[in-house]
């Protein structure tokens, strides 16, 4: 089982993409593994033959434990599978010796075929067939111009983004028949396998957060000055991007809130990583924006939009889910004004964003004036900080938002 992220300890095998006895080539995919809520293709680092499978779909396997045996004449059978982690010394295997392997795929070239066929990993071929994609029109990115699953997903996304041609009306049309949803059998598990894996991964995080002493401080943020700047120099930038940047600036200002709790005290982080909660068809994903206070606001806005699209299309990598030091969750677009965001261990804070709206506000003299505002909730780990710390952080966030030049700096 390869290490696909710095925090990965286990991986769950989803499916094998090649049968035992199949020939494999360096860079081909052999299996799909899920970790951190993301399905990842596992690729071979050598040429050879898949001799034996040790893990079955659904098995949870620790990093470093064999999932299959590969027969190969290559000297380096492990390549960089454990990059980023302490790498054990591995003796070179003799020629044609069976050794632990993690990737393979059957070659697609057909002997005697006069027409050159593209090299395709099995998962990519299946995705293309399901979506009706011509593989000759897909741009390969794998070794030896091999078409990988991500190439097919990119082609599907490009086709969906293109304007659809109007279809010719048939001579006679029958009224569409809508079938009623199949009734759920008593005791049956809901959702497909991927959705259930997502719920299980989320449950593991929530089980851990349940033992953390945490509370939420709420505040209505005045966005009136910023709203004027947004119509001018910040035109087109989303409120989510603006508030993510302000939150990142607060985490940078208060190292205590950007750190995490250990048995010896609060350990700081040298970077700021904002996990952005994204609602996807299979459940919640929280890809990470690295140091969002160190890029321009427009660049951050581009990253936020691209990350959200990638998450919804299932194109987030395991690495993009690592490095978060705080989380932003936004339900304002669904009409929610206020909610409590739970912590994601080991992070010490989570920021909830309600709807941005213009509301009547009373002034000190009793007058009423419109104000663009948003109610936010800052949840903190009580072991790393106190209520007064949360209040000061929200006050600082308000000060940042009242000065558009600070956000643009």
* CATH number, residue 85: 2.40.50.100
Q: In which region does residue 393 sit, left (phi positive, over 0), alpha (psi from -120 to 50) or beta (all else)?
A: alpha
The alpha carbon of residue 397 and the mean position of all alpha carbons in its chain are separated, in whole angstroms, by 26
At 258 the pLDDT is 97
Domain assignment present for residue 174? The answer is no
Kindly state the tokens that stand for 162: 């293109």
Give yes or no: residues 382 and 242 share one domain.
yes
Q: Are residues 143 and 237 in the same domain?
A: no
Q: Domain residues for 394?
A: 211-408
Co-location of 285 and 381 in the same domain = yes
> Are residues 284 and 401 part of one domain?
yes
Cα–Cα distance, 56 to 310 (Å, whole number): 29
Question: How many other β-carbons are positioned within 10 Å of the β-carbon of residue 302?
Answer: 14
* Cβ–Cβ under 8 Å, residues 121 and 145: no
Asked if residue 274 lies in contact with residue 289, where contact means CB atoms within 8 angstroms, the answer is yes
181 occurs within a structural domain:
no
CATH number, residue 323 = 3.30.559.10
Tell me, yes or no, if the pTM score tops 0.85.
no
Q: Are residues 140 and 226 in the same domain?
A: no
The reply to whether 29 and 121 lie within a common domain is yes
pLDDT of residue 143: 57
In-domain check, residue 243: yes
Active site residues: 382
Residue 233 lies in a domain: yes
Number of domains in the chain: 2
Same domain flag for 116 and 221: no
pLDDT at residue 300 in the model = 95
pLDDT for 184 equals 61
Q: What is the pLDDT of residue 105?
A: 42
Q: Is residue 188 part of a domain?
A: no
Question: Is residue 189 assigned to a domain?
Answer: no
Are residues 222 and 370 both part of a single domain? Answer: yes
**φ, ψ of residue 196 in degrees (nearest 5):** -65, -40
User: Would you say residue 120 lies in a domain?
Assistant: yes
Per-residue pLDDT of the chain (409 residues; tens, 9 = 90+): 887 766 677 888 888 988 888 888 887 888 888 876 677 788 887 888 888 889 988 888 888 888 988 888 765 555 544 444 333 333 333 333 444 444 334 333 333 333 455 677 666 777 888 888 888 888 887 656 778 777 888 888 888 777 655 444 444 444 444 445 556 667 777 777 767 776 777 777 777 778 899 999 999 999 999 998 888 888 889 999 999 999 999 999 999 999 999 989 999 999 999 999 999 887 888 999 999 999 999 999 999 999 999 989 888 887 888 899 999 999 999 999 999 999 999 999 999 999 999 999 888 888 898 999 999 999 999 999 999 999 999 999 999 999 888 887 6
């Amino acid at each position: 089982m390869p290490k696909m992220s710095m925090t990965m300890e286990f991986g769950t095998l989803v499916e094998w993409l090649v049968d035992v006895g199949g020939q494999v080539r360096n860079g081909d995919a052999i299996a799909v593994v899920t970790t951190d809520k993301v399905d990842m293709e596992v690729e071979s680092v050598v040429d050879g033959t898949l001799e034996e499978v040790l893990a079955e779909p659904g098995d949870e396997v620790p990093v470093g434990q064999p999932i299959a045996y590969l027969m190969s004449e290559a000297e380096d059978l492990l390549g960089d599978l454990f990059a980023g982690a302490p790498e054990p010394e591995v003796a070179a295997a003799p020629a044609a010796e069976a050794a632990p392997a993690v990737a393979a795929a059957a070659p697609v070239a057909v002997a005697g075929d006069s027409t050159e066929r593209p090299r395709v990993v099995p998962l990519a071929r299946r995705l293309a067939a399901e979506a009706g994609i011509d593989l000759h029109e897909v741009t390969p990115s794998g070794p030896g111009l091999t078409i990988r699953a991500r190439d097919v997903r990119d082609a599907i996304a490009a086709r969906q983004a293109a304007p659809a041609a109007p279809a010719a009306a048939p001579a006679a049309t029958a009224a569409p028949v809508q079938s009623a949803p199949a009734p759920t059998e008593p005791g049956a598990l809901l959702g497909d396998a991927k959705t259930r894996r997502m719920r299980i991964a989320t449950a593991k995080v929530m089980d851990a957060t349940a033992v953390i002493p945490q509370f939420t401080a709420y505040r209505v943020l005045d966005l009136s000055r910023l709203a004027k700047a947004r119509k001018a120099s910040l035109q087109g930038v989303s409120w989510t991007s603006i508030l993510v940047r302000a939150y990142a600036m607060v985490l940078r200002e208060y190292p205590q809130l950007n750190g995490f709790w250990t048995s010896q005290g609060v350990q700081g982080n040298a970077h700021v990583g904002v996990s952005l909660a994204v609602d996807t068809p299979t459940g919640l994903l929280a890809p990470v924006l690295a140091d969002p206070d160190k890029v321009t606001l427009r660049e951050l806005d581009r990253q936020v939009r691209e990350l959200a699209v990638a998450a919804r299309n299932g194109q987030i990598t395991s690495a993009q889910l690592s490095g978060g030091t705080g989380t932003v969750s936004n339900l304002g677009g669904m009409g929610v004004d206020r909610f409590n965001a739970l912590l994601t261990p080991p992070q010490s804070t989570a920021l909830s964003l309600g709807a941005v709206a213009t509301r009547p506000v009373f002034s000190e003299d009793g007058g009423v004036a419109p104000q663009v505002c948003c109610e936010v909730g800052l949840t903190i780990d009580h072991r790393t900080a106190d209520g007064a710390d949360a209040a000061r952080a929200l006050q600082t966030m308000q000060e940042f938002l009242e000065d558009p030049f600070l956000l643009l700096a």
